[in-house]
Amino acid sequence: MSSGYGKGAPLSYNKYLKVPELIRLQETLSEPPSHDELLFIIIHQTYELWFKQILHELDATIKWIDEGRTFRANHSLRGVVSIERILVTQIHVLESMAPIGFLEFRDKLNPASGFQSMQFRELEFVSGAKDEKILSTFAEDEFAYKRLNERYTSPSLADAFWGLVGRSGLASTTHDERIAATVEILTHPEKYAEIYNMQDLLIEHDELIVAWRYNHIQMVERMLGMKRGTGGSDGVGYLMTTLNKKFFPELWEARTHLNIESKGDEK
């Protein structure tokens, strides 16, 4: 590849990926610079890039489902869970920081907090976990609020999935109907093959986000113990309350009602 950067220069790897601009985006705040601050910034910027790709795939998934292209939707969902497996393990890289090294620059971050990750909140909203209280916390950030409000008012992935289930001939409007429909799908996988595969990918999406939350909690406690968060939250105490969040609670609850008698006679 050519290495030219000037106007009219041939395309190169660095030019296409904007590498010079990319490696200038890591601006540390500590003075003198803390050794571990660069790692902290790179890990979180990497997360934001992965969140962007996940949102890209989830938006495509909703579109594919609405168009009845379930195979294509499942393909995008497989991309989502593949990325999320990376997110779950990537958090451990932060544990290579020395706790005292983290404290060298942590106070510089106030009042910024991971709670303010706009794209992670978009991921929650588009998946189906919409929270008006969280939306309101972004009211002073015009850019973030506009994006999140659009997510809040638009159909979610959960809406798209239950709509698909309804179009397959199974009632799926109420909570109880969705549980009954899921039991039917789980007991007749060949009859509802693509929907069965989709619910499996959706529950994996849910599971991996919970695993990411748990690993995040363990990392924070390992680094900071029970210190309060930089944004003023209870730190680990607050994070523990997020572990019960589910995007697709009916898919999980249906497992409780599943039994061998549900299968009945194969048609």
Phi, psi at 113, each rounded to 5°: -155, 150
Mean pLDDT of 73-100: 94
- Asked if the model's pLDDT at residue 187 lies above 70, the reply is yes
Q: What is the dihedral of CA 222, 226, 228, 231, to 10 degrees?
A: 40
Which residue bears the tokens 């939707």?
73
The pLDDT value recorded for residue 196 is 98
| Averaged pLDDT score across all residues of the chain | 90
Average confidence (pLDDT) over 181-209? 97
Q: Which residue has the higher pLDDT, 108 or 180?
A: 180
Which candidate, 214, 208, 198, places its Cα nearest to that of 163?
198
Q: 70-100 b/e with 16+ CB inside 10 Å = b?
A: beebbebbebbbeebeebbeebeebeebeee
Tokens of 240: 């523990």
Q: What is the mean pLDDT of residues 110-130?
A: 88
Kindly list the structural domains of the chain, giving each domain's residue range(s) and its CATH number in brackets, ordered by start: 34-104+116-263 (1.20.58.480)
Contact assessment for residue 174 and residue 253, using Cβ atoms and an 8 Å cutoff: no
Which pTM was predicted? Answer: 0.88
Tokens of 237: 């105490």
